[in-house]
Amino acid sequence: MGQANRPRLLILFLPQEWKNYHRRPHWEAMAKQAQLLIIEPPAGILTAILQPRRLLKYFKSDKKLRQQSGSGVATFRPIQLGSPGIDFILPFLSGLDRLLMRRQLKKVVEQLHADLSNTVTFIVHVYQHHFSRLFPNAPQCYEITDLYVIPYGHDELNENHWYTKRARRYERKIIKDSDIVITSSRLIFENLRSAHSHVHYLHNSADYAHFSKSENTELEIPAEIKGLAKPVLGFIGYLNHLIDFELLAMLSNEFTSGSIVIIGSEQKINRVTNDSWYQITRQTKNIHYLGFKDYETLPAYLKGFDVCLLPFRSNEWMRYSAPNKTFQYLATGKPVVSTDFPEMRAFKNVVHVADNHNRFINMVREAINENSEAKRAERKKIALENSTDTRAVKVMSLLNGTLKERS
């Protein structure tokens, strides 16, 4: 395929700051294929009431466009009236923010010496509907990883909820505006394939090279878990309403001579402080909450795990979810035990999938005892097949085909 049909610039509208974005490794892999411009959540004038530091940081900065050293990634934080999501409550802001964004981005694209006709924009959240088809000449991709039409913190999908009604309307607009739709959830794929002619299902991914470092014999296990009683059962991820804290409490009772390690911070928008089971686990002696850890240090912590856990609750969000931490875990070669949800069933040959609490506990026992070299190799093979680099090549292939059709 000729160079003329390859995008030179990818513009990604982010729902959170680049440094905190959980899918950052995937996009860093994309930056190896084309220049990547990250549009961080706007510094909103109205946001000054809720997040004054963000606005102060914006005006203090001498460079709104920043090139990440040693990569093809540039970040830009625009100025807006609102911030992502606020227009769900104040929809009249959308049109004004859209005009502001277009003017700012045109200047940024010029600074990068890019051509909008050879640029692909990415929308990744229904909150970003007012940035959809911001540039008519630039192809658009809607990459949807979760069922974002469910309000945060809700377990069930209620089509009559005001948020869901509005989100459905906005998502229909995004899909209609997009040249291509990509999802890592098979259920979302099945729901959308009749709504768009170019819907593609690709598994989520993880940075295999990074997480496989856990097998490095010279890598030191961090002191705070090195001396913990074995077996060490570990989870890495956000603490939110998706975590089954009752299951964690049951695990602590069953493995009283072992340790449960939880790495991650409480998600602000999905706070779990009032969850009674969460409070119980915070007081349990063999459950260790270690808080947020830098991404670069995670392989060292995973090296100290005996079994990796995916202890998610059964709800509508998880039915449509495909956690990329599945492949992060598998890249270590360590056994993985998960609760049952649709996307996980395709990996039953390498992941223990339990459909209730008692089976989960029994599968943890099995995982501790069956960790053979053959199993480790099989898990690592699946992780490598679903690496961020592999997925980036697949996504770029789809984009190249879309550009070729338009040329």
| pLDDT over 60 at 3, yes or no | no
Peptide bond between residue 231 and the one before it cis (omega within 30 degrees of 0): yes
Tokens at 101, concatenated = 């964004």
* C-alpha R_g of the chain: 22
Q: Report pLDDT for 56.
A: 65
* CATH 3.40.50.2000 domain locations along the chain: 3-205+387-406, 208-385
In CATH terms, the fold of domain 3-205+387-406 is Rossmann fold (3.40.50)
What is the residue type of 398? L
Looking up tokens 């004054």 gives 52
Please report, for residues 231, 328, 371, 385, the alpha-carbon distance to residue 374 in angstroms, rounded to integers and kept in the order given: 21, 19, 8, 17
Looking up tokens 């991914």 gives 205
| pLDDT over 60 at 33, yes or no | yes
Beta bridge partners of 312: 243
Looking up tokens 């974002």 gives 148
Q: Which residues have C-beta within 8 Å of that of residue 63, sequence separation ≥ 6?
A: none
What is the tens place of the pLDDT at every residue in 42-81?
776 665 665 666 656 655 554 578 877 667 899 998 888 7
Please report, for residues 44, 213, 295, 298, the alpha-carbon distance to residue 219 in angstroms, rounded to integers and kept in the order given: 43, 8, 15, 11
pLDDT band at 17 (very low <50, low <70, confident <90, very high): confident
Query: Which of 88-92, 153-157, 369-373 is predicted least confidently?
Result: 88-92
Closest CA to 363 of 373, 353, 378: 353
Using an 8 Å Cβ cutoff, are 387 and 208 in contact?
Answer: yes
Q: Which residues have C-beta within 8 Å of that of residue 342, sequence separation ≥ 6?
A: 186, 187, 319, 320
What whole-number distance in Å separates Cα of residue 252 and Cα of residue 246?
10
Backbone angles phi, psi at 269, to 5 degrees: -80, -15
What is the tens place of the pLDDT at every residue in 374-404?
999 999 999 999 999 999 999 999 998 877 7
What whole-number distance in Å separates Cα of residue 335 and Cα of residue 368?
8
Tokens at 92, concatenated = 């009249």
Q: Report pLDDT for 53.
A: 66
Assigned superfamily of 208-385: Glycogen Phosphorylase B; (3.40.50.2000)
What whole-number distance in Å separates Cα of residue 104 and Cα of residue 92?
20
Reduced to 3 states, what is the DSSP secondary structure of residue 246?
Answer: helix
| pLDDT over 60 at 214, yes or no | yes
Beta bridge partners of 65: 76
Closest CA to 406 of 197, 179, 182, 198: 179
